[in-house]
Amino acid sequence: MRYWRLFRKSAFLYRFRKDKVAVASFSVLMLLVVMSFSAPLIAPYDPYDPVQIDIMDSDIPPSWQAEGDTRFALGTDAQGRDMWSTMLYGTRLSITIGLFAVLLQSLLGIALGLVAGYFGGRIDSFLMRLADIQLSFSTLMVAIVVLAVFQASFGTELYNELALFMLILVIGIAEWPQYARTVRASVLAEKRKEYVDAVRVIGLNRRRIMFRHILPNTLSPILVISTVQVANAIMSEAALSFLGLGMPVNQPSLGSLINSGFEFILSGSWWITTFPALLLVVLVLVINLLGDWMRDVLNPKLYKE
Amino acid sequence: MALLEVKNLEVKFPLRQGELTALRDVSFSLDRGERLGIVGESGAGKSVAAFAILNLVSRPGYISGGKILFEGRDLAGLSRSELRTIRGNRINMIFQDPMMTLNPVLTIGTQMIECLRAHRRITPAAARQLAIEKLRAVSIPSPEARIDQYPHELSGGMRQRVVIAIALLTDPSVIIADEPTTALDVTIQAEIMELLLELCEHNNVALILITHDLGVVSQVTQRAIVMYAGRIVEEGATRRIIDSARHPYTQGLINALPERTRPGQRLNQIPGVMPSLMDIPQGCAFHPRCQLRIDACQQQLPAYSGSEHARVACLRVDEQERAQ
Amino acid sequence: MIAFLIRRIGQALVVMFVISLLSFSIQDNLGDPLRELVGQSVSEAERQALRDQMGLNDPFLAQYWRFLRKAVQGDLGNSYFFKRPALEVIMEKFPATMELVLGATLIILLLSVPIGVYCAINPRSWFTRVMMGLSIVGISIPVFLTAIMLIYLFSIHLGWLPSYGRGETVMIGAWESGLLTWDGVLHLILPSIALSSIMLPLFIRLIRSEMMEVLEQEYIRFAWAKGLQRRRIWFLHALKNTLLPVITVGGVQIGTMIAYTILTETVFQWPGMGFLFLEAVNRVDTPLIIAYLIVVGLIFVVTNTVVDLIYGLVNPTVKLTRGLA
């Protein structure tokens, strides 16, 4: 309660209210999150339920077009699924993957960053070299290779079942260096401070004191990184699904929907690609705008080489 | 006619919370070959005044009033290209921190030659020769080799020598030195200051020395200006100011000098801190810290009394002097 | 220089070692080379004999060593699908990918530097505002979407530019180039734009923010005080310092660029290595997958070394001769 009252009075909230772009982005993001997570309640159809899908309904354009059908506001895809419902479920998948991947990244990165900074020496230089190499390989490249090899060795069927889990794991593991570097820099800065020694003289546990200071100090850079990382993770997921290495057709994310529509764009079924694409861009854009705004306001010391 | 004459200079910074006046009603003049000190605590506006002369106030600051007459021409009214013929040519600057002043990715030679080539028709070879000469003049050993080095290969003292050499390259009329030794080791501060003084005397260059160090001012300058909260509070011959300061603030500064304190005794610091430029007190800006204040000090901005080169802005000055 | 080379080569060896280990384990786990060779009709005893003969029952290290020795000689096995040496198949597609990367790199370099510098110098102009707005939209649109949009607009709707393939190509020795024919250049335009579509706004933003930081530095103020021309201050004094962090980021982005070639080549059916790789994945063509990984790994190592060298040339505080970082 006390923190909430403090937060309400803070400069952070004040500046948020004054920035129209930030307020608009946040509202749109919240709208998308709430709508997609209440998909089972508000979607007119369940795209995962084969009973509700009729192949006869396939490729119907949006309802305002001449051949449209009022049952399907935004038309249907090649399998006869209602676009609107499928997109809601797809957005939920994309956001879920983004959030969990970033959660994994941050946990891994913070842990490794603490280890590197605290122990220093060889462990530190080993971890940081590893981070360099991993960063230069790029998440998307690592993810493509790993997922491709997995798909080839497990076979498509088993892979489809594991896709959600694998995507979170791969995107989650590949981006830890971002967090690790920031946390490490913070630990090193903290180590240099004199009060840490002073505290030890008084006989308190040095480690506990240090960590109690480090985590609050790294909060704002971690917040900024995380925002941008969620957007990146959603983009990576979409790219992987587009390549057929992500979510399967029967459980489509926004990326796989775009992919499935791409085949039909030449035959004129533009809506299968366009609507999910628009939704994906809006989702990523509002997160990026929020990240940009937060970087301006919090102005954290981000790790720079 | 004075070489440089600053008249009623005013500099403002538009900020989110409102406009901030960094300099108000600053006037002073400088003769050919003269050495003038501008003294004050950090934040008093000395550096802003120095940068304003060459219209180099950092953004978003701007000159909002007054004149800067150099050889009779108003610098504030010059076009960009006209101003460029003065900057770095007739009036040169020496910055505070030699570690930050030189561009890290260009050689010493490049940074010297470009100066000459910007202001006169000269071949690169001749410019290089001149640059080497100037490096020798500031006592840099083996200048032929040093000229091709990068700043990071030189020590702080060496770098400040290079900066002084750059300032001398174009045989300027005025050099403005903004705390030229503050960032250096104490052991080389005196050395650099002596070099600067000697070169100015030798080449008959006028010097404006900006510093918070009254000791340096007394060694180098002939005349001094004391600034407080963006305004000049006292001006006079350096000797006279050191010996018998008239403004209570100047007196406070001098009494705070360690030399004025007997060993073991506490330093005589002026109580309180200088106000931020955001909220300068009404009346005399110094009154909250002044031991001589009367009610009128809180209402009335004191006017200057005395002659052009020996003036003071204090309401109590007459009483004080009568008492002495 | 020697220390720099040693450090660089050491790093390269580590990277290549990891890739070789990865490749070998892929080969070990993916697909049965025996089936590819002899088919299903052979008895189990004969199979075992053949396995022994081919060394498939040898210990791990022995097998890995053999793989490594062959790999170093350029022998990565035959592609199951093309029935030809995998490395040869990959290298045939190498020029296509390189020309695509070249096109995109040119677009990024030629546009990001002037736009980024302009936006840093004129932070309040309307052009800067438009550019900043566009760039954040730009980095929010995935590469494959840009590619689809470009095809839809310029090929299907307007019919101005071809949408797939490389068009007419010319052989220069072993290099199949599309740069020398008008048709080939036309085919390159849309894929290059698509490939550069995320990096370009990223670099514009990076150059802008780095340059704005540099312009606040004391040495820039000193350059103004020296009475230098604006152009010299911006394009020599400020830009050279701006480029240092930009080069570092550029090095990190090479990996992402190669990943994006896979996406771009897929959408445009550009006959390059990325497209081939994805086909190989779908066909479980193990030797081809491995060949791709190794070639890409080599590209990483080489380009990163080049980037390091360039950085050392621009930044005098890095002494290549002394190997200081």
> What's the pLDDT at A119?
81
Q: Which residues of B touch C231 (CB under 8 A)?
A: none
The answer, yes or no, to whether C and B have at least 3 beta-carbon pairs within 8 Å is yes
Residue C15 sits at the chain A interface (C-beta within 8 Å): yes
Residue C37 has pLDDT above 70, yes or no: no
- B23 and B52 Cβ atoms separated by less than 8 Å: yes
How far apart are the CA of C300 and the nearest CA of chain A, in angstroms? 8
CATH number at residue A257: 1.10.3720.10
Size of interface A-C (CB pairs under 8 A): 105
Domains of chain B, by residue range, sit at: 4-90+174-323, 103-169
How far apart are the CA of B123 and the nearest CA of chain C, in angstroms? 17
Question: What is the CB neighbour count within 10 angstroms for residue A72?
Answer: 23
pLDDT digits (tens, 9 = 90+) for C121-141: 998 899 999 999 999 999 999
Query: In the predicted model, what is the mean pLDDT of residues A167-175?
Result: 87
Parent domain of A294? 32-50+71-298
Q: Would residue A2 count as lying in a domain?
A: no
| Residue of chain C minimizing CA distance to B55 | C225
> What's the pLDDT at A284?
92
How far apart are the CA of C322 and the nearest CA of chain B, in angstroms? 14
DSSP sequence for C59-108: -HHHHHHHHHHHHHTT---B-TTT-SBHHHHHHHHHHHHHHHHHHHHHHH
> What's the pLDDT at B163?
93
Triad C27, C29, C30: Cα angle to 5°: 65
Residue C245 preceded by cis peptide, ω within 30: no
Which of the four pLDDT bands, split at 50, 70 and 90, describes residue A73? low
> What's the pLDDT at A183?
85
In terms of Cβ atoms closer than 10 Å to its own Cβ (0-12, 13-18, 19+), residue B75 is buried
Q: Would residue A7 count as lying in a domain?
A: no
User: For an interface test with C, which of A137, A151, A273, A289 has the most C Cβ atoms less than 10 Å from its Cβ?
Assistant: A137
Triad C83, C88, C90: Cα angle to 5°: 100
Which residues numbered 201-240 in C keep a CB inside 8 Å of some CB on B?
217-219, 221-230, 232, 236-237, 240
Secondary structure (3-state) at C113: helix
Which of the four pLDDT bands, split at 50, 70 and 90, describes residue C49? confident
> What's the pLDDT at B216?
87
Secondary structure (3-state) at B124: helix
Kindly state the percentage of chain A with pLDDT values over 70: 81
Secondary structure (3-state) at C193: helix
Secondary structure (3-state) at B25: strand
Secondary structure (3-state) at B26: strand
Please report which helix (H) or strand (E) contains residue B317, including its range. Answer: helix B317-323
* Beta strand extents in B169-307 (DSSP E only): 174-178, 206-211, 223-228, 231-237, 305-307
Query: In the predicted model, what is the mean pLDDT of residues A168-197?
Result: 80
> What's the pLDDT at C36?
56
Q: Which of A86, A81, A100, A39 is nearest to A236 (CA)?
A: A100
Residue C191 has pLDDT above 50, yes or no: yes
Which of the four pLDDT bands, split at 50, 70 and 90, describes residue C280? confident
Instruction: Write b or e for each residue in C171-191: b if 16 or more Cβ atoms lie within 10 A of its Cβ, otherwise e.
Output: eeeeebbbeeeeebbebbbbb
User: pLDDT below 70 — which residues of chain B?
Assistant: 267, 321-324
Question: What is the CB neighbour count within 10 angstroms for residue B39?
Answer: 26
Triad A123, A125, A126: Cα angle to 5°: 65
- A174 and A145 Cβ atoms separated by less than 8 Å: no
DSSP sequence for A112-137: HHHHHHHH-HHHHHHHHHHHHHHHHH
When mean pLDDT is compared across A42-46, B271-275, C40-44, C139-143, the lowest value belongs to C40-44
Triad C261, C262, C268: Cα angle to 5°: 80
Contacts 24+ apart (CB under 8 A), B151-155: B151/B102, B151/B103, B151/B104, B151/B108, B152/B104, B152/C316, B152/C317, B154/B108
DSSP sequence for B42-108: TTSSHHHHHHHHTT-PPTT-EEEEEEEEETTEEGGG--HHHHHHHBTTTEEEE-S-HHHHS-TTS-H
User: Mean of the per-residue pLDDT values for chain A?
Assistant: 79
C227 vs B95, B118, B152: nearest CB: B118
Distance CA A157, CA A167 (A): 16
Residue C134 sits at the chain A interface (C-beta within 8 Å): no
Furthest C-alpha separation in chain C: 88
Distance CA A24, CA A18 (A): 11
Residue A305 has pLDDT above 60, yes or no: no
Residue C321 has pLDDT above 50, yes or no: no
When mean pLDDT is compared across A41-50, A200-209, A236-245, B221-230, the lowest value belongs to A200-209
Which residues numbered 89-108 in B keep a CB inside 8 Å of some CB on C?
89, 92-93, 95, 97, 100-107
C217 vs B88, B100, B150: nearest CB: B100
> What's the pLDDT at C42?
65
> What's the pLDDT at B103?
92
Residue C322 sits at the chain B interface (C-beta within 8 Å): no
Distance CA A218, CA A226 (A): 12
Q: Which of B231, B227, B225, B207 is nearest to B26 (CA)?
A: B231
Triad C37, C43, C45: Cα angle to 5°: 100
How far apart are the CA of B191 and the nearest CA of chain C, in angstroms? 23
> What's the pLDDT at C324?
37
Distance CA C194, CA C266 (A): 12
CB contact under 8 A, C260 and A292: no
- B53 and B68 Cβ atoms separated by less than 8 Å: yes
pLDDT digits (tens, 9 = 90+) for A148-159: 888 777 777 777
Q: Which of B253, B171, B242 is nearest to B212 (CA)?
A: B253
pLDDT digits (tens, 9 = 90+) for A270-290: 777 888 888 999 999 999 999
> What's the pLDDT at A206?
61
Q: Which residues of C touch B115 (CB under 8 A)?
A: 226-228
C228 vs B85, B105, B114: nearest CB: B114
Which of the four pLDDT bands, split at 50, 70 and 90, describes residue A161? confident
CB contact under 8 A, B102 and C317: no
| Residue of chain B minimizing CA distance to C241 | B105
> What's the pLDDT at C206?
92
Tokens describing residue B89: 């040519």
DSSP sequence for C127-175: HHHHHHHHHHHHTTS-HHHHHHHHIIIIIIIS--S--SS--S-EEETTE
Which of the four pLDDT bands, split at 50, 70 and 90, describes residue C6? confident
Q: Would residue A289 count as lying in a domain?
A: yes
Distance CA C118, CA C134 (A): 15
- B4 and B29 Cβ atoms separated by less than 8 Å: yes
> For the whole model, what pTM was predicted?
0.85
> What's the pLDDT at A5?
65
Query: In the predicted model, what is the mean pLDDT of residues C306-312?
Result: 83
CB contact under 8 A, C289 and A149: yes
> What's the pLDDT at C323?
37
pLDDT digits (tens, 9 = 90+) for C92-126: 889 889 999 999 999 999 999 999 999 999 988 99
Distance CA B111, CA B169 (A): 11
Q: Would residue A15 count as lying in a domain?
A: no
Query: In the predicted model, what is the mean pLDDT of residues C211-219?
Result: 91
In terms of Cβ atoms closer than 10 Å to its own Cβ (0-12, 13-18, 19+), residue A108 is middle
Tokens describing residue A37: 């997570």
User: For an interface test with B, which of C212, C218, C226 has the most B Cβ atoms less than 10 Å from its Cβ?
Assistant: C226
User: For an interface test with C, which of B47, B93, B103 has the most C Cβ atoms less than 10 Å from its Cβ?
Assistant: B103
The answer, yes or no, to whether B and A have at least 3 beta-carbon pairs within 8 Å is no
CB contact under 8 A, B102 and C222: yes
Kindly list the distances between the CA atom of residue A233 and the CA atoms of A140, A238, A275, B226, C202, in Å, as whole numbers in the listed order: 9, 8, 20, 60, 16
Residue C150 has pLDDT above 80, yes or no: yes
Backbone angles phi, psi at C139, to 5 degrees: -75, -5
Residue A7 has pLDDT above 80, yes or no: no
> What's the pLDDT at A1?
58
Q: Count helices and strands (H / E) in chain B.
A: 12, 12
Residue A304 has pLDDT above 50, yes or no: no
> What's the pLDDT at C40?
58
Give the residue with greater pLDDT, C69 vs C101.
Answer: C101
> What's the pLDDT at C316?
82
Residue C70 sits at the chain B interface (C-beta within 8 Å): no
How far apart are the CA of A153 and the nearest CA of chain C, in angstroms? 6
Q: Would residue A97 count as lying in a domain?
A: yes
Assigned fold of B4-90+174-323 = Rossmann fold (3.40.50)
User: For an interface test with C, which of B47, B48, B91, B105 has the most C Cβ atoms less than 10 Å from its Cβ?
Assistant: B105
Which residues from A are below 8 Å from C when comparing CB atoms? Answer: 129, 133, 135-141, 144-145, 148-149, 151-153, 231, 235, 238-239, 242-245, 255, 258, 262, 265-266, 270, 273, 277, 280-281, 284-285, 288-289, 292, 304-305
Q: Which residues of C touch A133 (CB under 8 A)?
A: 11, 14-15
Q: Supply the CATH classification number for the domain C86-314.
A: 1.10.3720.10
Q: Which of B132, B126, B125 is nearest to B149 (CA)?
A: B132
Q: Which of A90, A139, A140 is nearest to A248 (CA)?
A: A90
Kindly list the distances between the CA atom of residue A19 and the CA atoms of A224, A227, A231, in Å, as whole numbers in the listed order: 17, 18, 21
Which of the four pLDDT bands, split at 50, 70 and 90, describes residue C325? very low
Laid out side by side, the sheet with B91-94 consists of B91-94, B174-178, B206-211, B35-39, B223-228, B231-237, B310-312, B305-307
